[in-house]
Each structure stands twice: as structure tokens, then as C-alpha cells.
Structure 1
Amino acid sequence: MMQRIEFYDDFRTYLRDFYADQKKRFPHFSYRFFCRKAGLKSPSHFTEIMDGRRKLTSKMMDSFIKGLGLTENDARYFTILVNFNQSKNSTEKQQLLMQMRGMKRKVKQALVSTDYYEYYSKWYNIILRELACLIDWADDYDLLAKSVVPQIKKSEARESIEFLLSTGFIKKENGRYIQSEPAITSGSEVCSLGIRNFNRIMAERAQKAIEEFPTSERDIQSLTVGISKHGYRLIKQEMQEFISRVVRIVDDDKDADQVYNINVHLFPMSIRQEGRGPCNE
């Protein structure tokens, strides 16, 4: 089972788990696909390094980091881990081990069931779960409600916090609110009514954000392209990997001072023309 990289003490085990995870999620994933993404000339490089028949040299390190889609912090840990595993010097290994221990995080990512309708049914539950832990609002529900964009009612803020506390999404310690699980995701496939409704509301908020916020505070991009079914699967994989990297960036950000929403959309704008192109199935 694939785990966060800091839980590994052998980079080859990490590579094996990475490949198994990618293959399970994306059947078309292969060693050749990884090497092409990483910019490696030979598709055998991945298997030879993973099986210990070849060293992962410093020249290939950046390529592997690119192929694995690692964030900056994860890339740093991976580099130290590789050096630790391949070093023959006991003193050096001890120093590298200490660096690895210092980088281990205690952040867990909770997977919210798509059946957890109530959490997603009120869009401000998700926002308040973040906001209540960011600002010093001292149980002033009026202040909390007015800090949400768009503003909600004081009664809605109170009701939401009570729900989040009772269900364990947040907890109160020493007068401050903290998240029980700092990173929450609905998973790559969502289908419940609650989540669909939340996504619809956030898409509407994205439209309004174009007029309400300057470009220095929001980034909205759009791309219209012609793709095949195969291209769709590849783009969808990239989107899922992007979200995973964003979650890790958020985990590492200890100075958060504002709540943002990130929408990633991919949908058809025309009827499929069956039988056209070599990639059609």
C-alpha cells in the first residue's frame, strides 16, 4: 500500500509501491510511460534501479523526481533517502538518517466517505473547518461569519462549528481550534449528491471571483483542446497527481492565513466523433 514518502526507509520499496499504486489506478501506466515522463532514454532504467541492479546517480535524480511528481519537500527527502540507502560510509549514513528523522511529518490525510452527505451539503462547513483554525476569533460567531466570503449568518456559523466538533472534524484545545485531520479529500472519484452540490457551488464562486478579486489574489485559467479517449485518461491522471501534490504543499505550509478553494475541471464541449483518429477505441 502506497504511503507518504517520509514513512519509507528504502527508496526502492518506495519505487515499487509507487509503480503498483500507479498501475492499480491507471492500467495504462508502465515503466516506459514513467521513463518518458521523467525524460529517461531507456525504459529499463526504472526496473534496474528499483531491483538494485543499478545505482540512482545524481545525474538521474532530477529525472526521477520529475517522473514521481514529488513536491519540493518530498524531493528533498527522496534525495536524502537515496543517498542513505546507497552510502557505504557508516558516519555519513548516520548523518543522513538524522536528516530523514527531522523531516518526518506527523500530518495524516483523512479520506471522507462520499456518503458523508451532511459535511458537504452545506458549503460553509468545509470553509469553516479551515477558517476556525486559522484566525483568533475567540468564539465570536459574528466575527467568524463575517470572515467568510460570501458572508454567512451568525447562526449558520454556530451550527456549523457545533457540527464539526461533534463529528470530530475539528477539536478545541487550550482555547484554540485545531483540525483532527489537517488534510481531507473526497478521493479522485466523487458521486454523492452532497459533494456534487458543493462542487457546483464552488464552480459558481469561481465565476464571481473573476469580478470580486484582483488577479493578484486569484488565478483562473482555461484551455480548450481536442483530445481522444486516451488523451482524456492521461490528462485525468495528471489532474489527480496535481491534487495530490497540492495536498502535500498544504501539509507543509505552517503559516496559512487565508482560505482558498481550488477547482479543477475537465468536461466535454462537443459530441464525440466515433471512428476518427488512431487513438479512438
Structure 2
Amino acid sequence: MKPIIEYSDFRQFMLDYYEDRKHRSAFSWREFSKIAGFSSSSYMKVVCEGKSKLSRIGVERTGSAMGLVGFEMEYFRAMVEFGQAPTEEKKKAAYERMLSIAKVHKVRVMEGDLFEFYDSWQNPVVRELAPLMPGATPGEIAKQCYPDISAAEVQQSLNFLTKAGLLKKSGNNAFVLAETSIKGTPDATRLALRGMHRMMSKLATPAIDLPVNERNFSGVTMGLSRESYNKIETVLDECRQKIISIAAEDKNIEQVYRLNLQLFPLTKNVKECENENA
């Protein structure tokens, strides 16, 4: 079984612990729950299936049942909070504690690169721009970005991207795109992407002032049913995939663009409100 610090999903860690014990002995969900001090014989199974949560006391009991002590117990507490936090702010704080614990013990958390990549809009932009400017200094790359950034910020992105394997050096100040992709658990990926979407949405506002031949803005306000929403969501996803294919086939790239596809409610659900008031 992998060390706990290589996990970001506490339920997966508990499940792997159970499977490992079961493989080595006659271990059952009933015994697991009993050792953790829960009266329900299937409580640990229900938690692992995501049908129930661990309370603060439950976290301590479960960690003790799995023999966690010291930094491992501290990491488990943070991992449970990450998995159960009700807000994005609390989730991010818990994840940062996980990364901090891992760093102290010189272990790389599976999704650490995922969070760092999406922590700044500069990383995806520099990743696309640097290969287009072989031999360019960080300062020269910075001057090509519409939002003002410094040479030091570009250098920081380049250092991270090469360390993470997302860019490869091909000479002095020359880079090529690597095939490496950053993947994580769905929960971690959603949290990381929310921050990126916020940053990119803010960058869209000043872009309205660019020449009309360099940007495309359009929008429509409409009433929808859930069925129509789902159909439009499918069309948008198909459109996004087609656009990605067009970009992938381009052999004469000149600029780095960002495409935001946004469909969001401007009102509450009227029918749900009517049912609540009935």
C-alpha cells in the first residue's frame, strides 16, 4: 500500500487500507468499524462509498484504527477536511496544509503540480508562448503578454513548467511543448480549475477594448428548461472539442488565445420557488 502522503482522497486511502488488511488476513468491514469504535458494523464501508461523513471524533477514531500517528495523523485530518469541506476556501486551505506536510517530509503529493499549474494564469500562457519564441529572454516573453507581467514572473513559470515536465529545454532559452499532462482526482481537479476560471474571466474584461479583429465577444440571455440546458451543454462540449482539434492541427501559430465558454443562470429556478411557496 502506498504511503498516506501519496493520497489526496481520504476515502480511497481508507479503502486501500481495508483491501490491504483483507488481503493479508480475515479482515471485514464489521471488524474495521468495531476497531474504530462505531456501533454500526458497516459504517466504514458507508464512509468509503461516500454515503456518510466522518465527524471530528470519527476522524480521530478512524486514524487510530489504521495506526496513524504523528505527521500521518495530521495529514489524514487535513485530507478528510479537504474531502468534506463545504466551501472552496476551506478546501483550498486544507489542501495547502496537505502540501505543506508533504513538503516537510520531502514527498510529492499526486496533485501538487495540478494546483501549482492552475494557481496562476501565467503558467498556461507561458507554456504556449515560450516555444513560439526560441532564444527569447524571460523579459522578451513578458513583453508579449497583454496583462502586464514581469520577467521574474515568466522565469518562475518557466522553472515550474520544466520541473513539472510540461516544457522541455531544447537549447539556450529555447523550449518545446512536452506531451506530459497533469491529472488529478475529480475533486482536486474541480477545485484547481475554479480558480483558473475566475482568473481567466477577469482577463476577459479588459480584452473587450482590443481591436474587434483580434477578439470575439457575443452573448444571449434566454429562458431555459433543464432539458434544454442539458442539450446546450452537450453542444458546447462538442464545439469545444472541435475547436481543440482545429488548434491542434495548426502548424503556423502566431499568438496565444483563451476561449471561455460560459453558460450560467441569472435567476433562481422559478418553478422550484413556486413549489416552495405552495
Structure-2-length-normalised TM-score: 0.53
Cα pair distance change 1:115/1:166, threshold 3 Å: closer
In structure 1, what is the Cα distance between the partners aligned to 2:242 and 2:129?
22
Structure 2 residue 229 is the aligned partner of structure 1 residue 229: no
> Which structure: greater helix fraction?
2
Structure 2, unpaired ranges of 5+: 1-109, 274-278
In structure 2, what is the Cα distance between the partners aligned to 1:114 and 1:121?
11
Structure 2 residue 150 is the aligned partner of structure 1 residue 150: no
Structure-1-length-normalised TM-score: 0.52
In the alignment, what sits opposite 1:254?
A: 251
Task: Tell me if the contact between 2:111 and 2:183 (Cα under 8 Å) persists in the aligned partners.
Answer: no
1:198-241 deviations in whole A, cap 9, x for unaligned? Answer: 11111111111112x01110001101111100111111111111
Q: Secondary structure at the match of 2:118?
A: helix
Q: Secondary structure at the match of 1:149?
A: coil
- Measured after TM superposition, the shift of residue 123 of structure 1 is 1.0
In the alignment, what sits opposite 1:179?
A: 177
- Measured after TM superposition, the shift of residue 151 of structure 1 is 2.0
Paired residues, number:
163
- The 10-residue stretch of structure 1 (191-200 or 225-234) with the greater mean CA deviation from structure 2: 191-200
Task: Tell me if the contact between 1:114 and 1:190 (Cα under 8 Å) persists in the aligned partners.
Answer: no
Letter in 2 for 1:165: T
Task: Return the match for 1:192 from 190, 193, 207.
Answer: 190
Cα pair distance change 1:230/1:188, threshold 3 Å: farther
In structure 1, what is the Cα distance between the partners aligned to 2:112 and 2:226?
26
- Measured after TM superposition, the shift of residue 191 of structure 1 is 5.5
In the alignment, what sits opposite 1:132?
A: 130
In structure 2, what is the Cα distance between the partners aligned to 1:240 and 1:189?
20
Percent identity reads: 30
In structure 2, what is the Cα distance between the partners aligned to 1:187 and 1:264?
23
- Larger RCO: 1 or 2 (CA < 8 Å, sep 6+): 1
Task: Tell me if the contact between 1:135 and 1:257 (Cα under 8 Å) persists in the aligned partners.
Answer: no
1:183-202 deviations in whole A, cap 9, x for unaligned? Answer: 98999998633321211111
Letter in 2 for 1:196: R
In the alignment, what sits opposite 2:216?
A: 219
Task: Tell me if the contact between 2:132 and 2:253 (Cα under 8 Å) persists in the aligned partners.
Answer: yes
Task: Return the match for 2:114 from 113, 116, 125.
Answer: 116
Q: Pairwise CA RMSD of aligned residues?
A: 3.0
In structure 2, what is the Cα distance between the partners aligned to 1:166 and 1:119?
11
Cα pair distance change 1:168/1:248, threshold 3 Å: same
1:43-86 deviations in whole A, cap 9, x for unaligned? Answer: xxxxxxxxxxxxxxxxxxxxxxxxxxxxxxxxxxxxxxxxxxxx
Task: Tell me if the contact between 1:123 and 1:198 (Cα under 8 Å) persists in the aligned partners.
Answer: yes
1:131-185 deviations in whole A, cap 9, x for unaligned? Answer: 001123x251111111111121111111110110011101022453111129989
Cα pair distance change 1:115/1:267, threshold 3 Å: farther
In structure 2, what is the Cα distance between the partners aligned to 1:247 and 1:189?
24
Q: Within 5 Å, give how 1:12-31 maps onto structure 2.
A: none
Larger Rg: 2
- Measured after TM superposition, the shift of residue 126 of structure 1 is 0.6
In the alignment, what sits opposite 1:161?
A: 158
In structure 2, what is the Cα distance between the partners aligned to 1:185 and 1:235?
27
